[in-house]
């Protein structure tokens, strides 16, 4: 596409923000009730924590448990959650291929950890479950190669193409004049910002960043203005041109929604939890009123006695001031049962919030939560069924977030020259594909492993009755499939080429051993025959013929 002008950029941002602003009221309420530490909306201070003033933060607790469980179930920092494999079987079985893949995966994991991926993805999950959408970014870093962050709700807008792939992102970033000078250069700043470099170098200035796909470019050039994705920075107020125009080899932003509905930004558990969070607030307020009436009920006092009696705890009141009738409660009501009933309703709402926010699903995924008396097979089946409830969300989460993140990191470390050299015996079109082995992915993938296991269990009595039925099974492939579905490290599974060489060596060794045994048996027979008289017998004639043949040779 032709180069975008500053005027066109501002029109694009205005249009996208106009579409997004229809969701701002809901997001602001979600931020107040469920996510006081996330989201940044007009009029709010980015450095201060939003004051929620809640009687009961059950929704926040449920969201916190669910987000932490989701992070641990899908992208655990303590264990490998993805791995690469060659797409073609011949490349998978190539000698040295598994070791190469393990090295690539270890390098990517190290870069993810150093770049703050796990902190960013946890914030991403909180926003995804709370606001129904979330935006992650991965930008260049001279120190860690890549630096991850979660762009908070209210500061960005997105557009997607017909395949729901991210095509354009606009975001507002607050920078100081000092930071802007370091990043863009003093000559790119407007006159107002330049003057602030001397007077107010740390004042916040709003900067707008646009990243969108370039549909028309010169692919033969590798400069920043011909990269697949264009990058445009400009000051919101002032400036007659862009601060910077550049590009990216891969889309640096990663966006997804919990459920595709109601436009680009979708819907999620937070939207469903709003009603219950409002309800629990109302019941907590009523309970507080009841408890207050029990502790300090309204009283009836004779005459003007109320003006002279000290009602503070421990106060001493002269007997002559108590009056003939004394003080008494305005009404006699037992609030205890009512408060207990209100508390029971509050507890039920809290359980519903746990269920709505999916906290129960993730809480039951740990093996430590297995009930006493339940077999491991039964518990694993329950975990698998629970994980299937998250299947639709994970099916979008992986291709729109995790896979593009890994591809971007792979591309960046490749451009830095940090990837090992691939094995020489790969095919010409060898390529890698990523698969996931996190607890969540394994539970969803175990259905395939369970099917293989069930088949083997069913075939076991048939094999005993008819052993030749084993010829129907490719046992080597069974091992490969089970290892892949159960997340076994690729380096411990030998390739078909190595297995073939081992079997050939074993066959040759067995043949050599059999030959030695035959020779030893022949020598033993010959020795026995040597002690016998064979002249004039058939055996003697055979031995004589054999001796003549050996002499001729």
Q: Hey, what's the torsion of the CAs at 478, 481, 487, 490, to 10 degrees? A: 90
CA gap 552, 453 in Å, rounded: 62
Q: Regarding predicted confidence, which is higher, 1 or 147?
A: 147
With respect to residue 526, please indicate whether it lies within any of the assigned structural domains: yes
With respect to residue 523, please indicate whether it lies within any of the assigned structural domains: yes
Plot region of 154 (φ>0 → left; ψ -120 to 50 → alpha; else → beta): left
With respect to residue 541, please indicate whether it lies within any of the assigned structural domains: yes
pLDDT tens digit sequence for 246-278: 999 999 999 999 988 878 999 999 999 999 999
Q: What are phi and psi of 18, to 5 degrees?
A: -65, -40
CA gap 399, 166 in Å, rounded: 12
The answer, yes or no, to whether residue 550 has pLDDT greater than 90, is: no
CA gap 363, 114 in Å, rounded: 28
**Helix, strand, coil tally for the chain in percent (to 5):** 55, 15, 30
Average pLDDT score over residue span 217-231: 84
Q: Regarding predicted confidence, which is higher, 229 or 465?
A: 229
64, 50, 34, 69: which is closest to 276 by C-alpha?
Answer: 34
With respect to residue 228, please indicate whether it lies within any of the assigned structural domains: no
130-139, 161-170, 460-469, range with the lowest pLDDT = 460-469
Q: Regarding predicted confidence, which is higher, 431 or 298?
A: 431
Q: What contacts 276, CB < 8 A, 6 or more positions away?
A: 59, 349, 352, 353, 356
Range of the domain at 527: 497-552
CA gap 253, 165 in Å, rounded: 11
Q: How many domains does the chain have?
A: 1
Q: What are the DSSP calls for 426-466, one per residue?
A: S-TT--EEEEE-SHHHHHHHHHHHHHHHHHHHHHHHHHHH-
> How many CB atoms within 10 Å of residue 330?
10
With respect to residue 186, please indicate whether it lies within any of the assigned structural domains: no
| C-beta separation of 66 from 269 below 8 A | yes
Q: What is the pTM of this model?
A: 0.76
| C-beta separation of 182 from 142 below 8 A | no
Q: What contacts 55, CB < 8 A, 6 or more positions away?
A: 280, 281, 284, 285, 288
Under the banding of pLDDT at 50, 70 and 90, the label for residue 61 is very high
Under the banding of pLDDT at 50, 70 and 90, the label for residue 230 is very high
CA gap 146, 306 in Å, rounded: 71
Q: What are phi and psi of 136, to 5 degrees?
A: -105, 150
Mean pLDDT of the chain: 82
Average pLDDT score over residue span 98-125: 94
Average pLDDT score over residue span 519-541: 63
Q: Regarding predicted confidence, which is higher, 393 or 80?
A: 80
pLDDT tens digit sequence for 163-210: 888 999 999 999 999 999 999 999 999 999 999 998 999 999 999 999
| Residue for token pair 């309800």 | 279
With respect to residue 543, please indicate whether it lies within any of the assigned structural domains: yes
* Three-state secondary-structure class, residue 491: helix
Inter-CA distances, 475 with 53, 308, 492, 500, 530, Å: 63, 95, 17, 14, 51
pLDDT tens digit sequence for 347-395: 999 999 998 888 877 765 555 555 666 665 666 666 667 666 776 777 7
Under the banding of pLDDT at 50, 70 and 90, the label for residue 312 is low
With respect to residue 538, please indicate whether it lies within any of the assigned structural domains: yes
CA gap 276, 209 in Å, rounded: 37
* Three-state secondary-structure class, residue 8: helix
Under the banding of pLDDT at 50, 70 and 90, the label for residue 430 is confident
pLDDT at 449: 62
pLDDT at 131: 96
Q: How far, in whole angstroms, is CA 269 from its chain's centroid?
A: 17
Sign of torsion over alpha carbons 91, 94, 98, 99: negative
pLDDT at 164: 84
The token duo for 121 is 């993805």
The token duo for 394 is 């994970």
CA gap 519, 422 in Å, rounded: 47
Q: Regarding predicted confidence, which is higher, 384 or 512?
A: 512
With respect to residue 525, please indicate whether it lies within any of the assigned structural domains: yes
Sign of torsion over alpha carbons 281, 282, 285, 286: negative
pLDDT at 34: 92
pLDDT at 31: 92
């Amino acid at each position: 596409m032709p180069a975008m002008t500053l005027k066109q950029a501002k029109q694009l941002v205005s249009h996208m923000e106009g579409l997004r602003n229809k969701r701002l009221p809901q997001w602001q309420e979600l931020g107040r009730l469920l996510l006081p530490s996330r989201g940044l909306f007009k009029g709010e201070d980015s450095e201060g924590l939003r004051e929620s003033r809640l009687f009961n933060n059950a929704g926040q607790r449920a969201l916190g448990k669910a987000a932490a469980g989701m992070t641990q179930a899908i992208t655990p920092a303590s264990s490998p959650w993805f791995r690469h494999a060659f797409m073609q079987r011949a490349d998978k079985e190539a000698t040295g291929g598994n070791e190469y893949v393990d090295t690539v995966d270890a390098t990517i994991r190290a870069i993810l950890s150093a770049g703050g991926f796990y902190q960013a993805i946890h914030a991403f999950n909180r926003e995804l479950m709370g606001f129904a959408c979330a935006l992650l970014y991965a930008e260049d870093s001279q120190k860690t190669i890549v630096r991850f962050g979660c762009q908070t709700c209210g500061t960005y807008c997105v557009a997607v193409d017909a395949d729901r792939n991210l095509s354009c992102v606009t975001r507002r970033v607050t920078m100081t004049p000092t930071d802007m000078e370091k990043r863009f250069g003093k000559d790119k700043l407007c006159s107002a910002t330049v003057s602030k470099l001397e007077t107010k170098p740390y004042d916040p200035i709003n900067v707008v960043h646009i990243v969108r796909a370039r549909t028309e470019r010169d692919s033969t050039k590798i400069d920043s203005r011909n990269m697949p994705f264009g990058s445009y920075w400009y000051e919101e107020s002032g400036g007659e041109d862009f601060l910077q125009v550049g590009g990216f080899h891969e889309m640096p932003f990663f966006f997804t929604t919990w459920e595709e509905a109601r436009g680009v930004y979708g819907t999620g558990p937070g939207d469903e939890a709003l009603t219950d969070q409002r309800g629990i607030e109302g019941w907590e307020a009523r309970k507080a009123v009841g408890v207050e009436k029990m502790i300090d009920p309204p009283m009836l006092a004779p005459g003007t006695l109320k003006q002279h009696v000290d009602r503070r705890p421990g106060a001493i009141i002269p007997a002559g001031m108590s009056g003939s009738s004394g003080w008494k409660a305005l009404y006699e009501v037992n609030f205890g049962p009512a408060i207990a009933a209100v508390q029971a309703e509050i507890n039920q709402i809290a359980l519903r919030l746990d269920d709505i926010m999916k906290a129960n699903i993730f809480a039951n995924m740990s093996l430590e939560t297995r009930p006493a008396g339940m077999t491991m097979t039964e518990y694993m089946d329950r975990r698998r069924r629970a994980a299937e409830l998250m299947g639709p969300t994970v099916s979008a989460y992986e291709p729109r977030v995790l896979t593009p993140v890994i591809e971007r990191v792979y591309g960046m470390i490749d451009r830095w020259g940090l990837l090992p050299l691939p094995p020489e015996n790969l095919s010409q079109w060898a390529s890698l594909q990523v698969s996931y082995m996190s607890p969540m992915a394994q539970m969803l993938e175990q259905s395939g492993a369970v099917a293989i296991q069930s088949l083997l269990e069913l075939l076991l009595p048939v094999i005993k009755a008819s052993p030749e039925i084993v010829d129907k099974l490719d046992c080597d492939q069974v091992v490969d499939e089970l290892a892949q579905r159960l997340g076994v490290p690729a380096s411990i599974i030998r390739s078909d080429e190595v297995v073939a060489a081992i079997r050939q060596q074993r066959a040759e060794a067995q043949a050599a051993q059999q030959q030695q045994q035959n020779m030893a048996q022949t020598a033993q027979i010959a020795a026995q025959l040597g002690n016998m008289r064979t002249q004039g017998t058939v055996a003697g004639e055979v031995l004589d013929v054999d001796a003549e043949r050996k002499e001729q040779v």
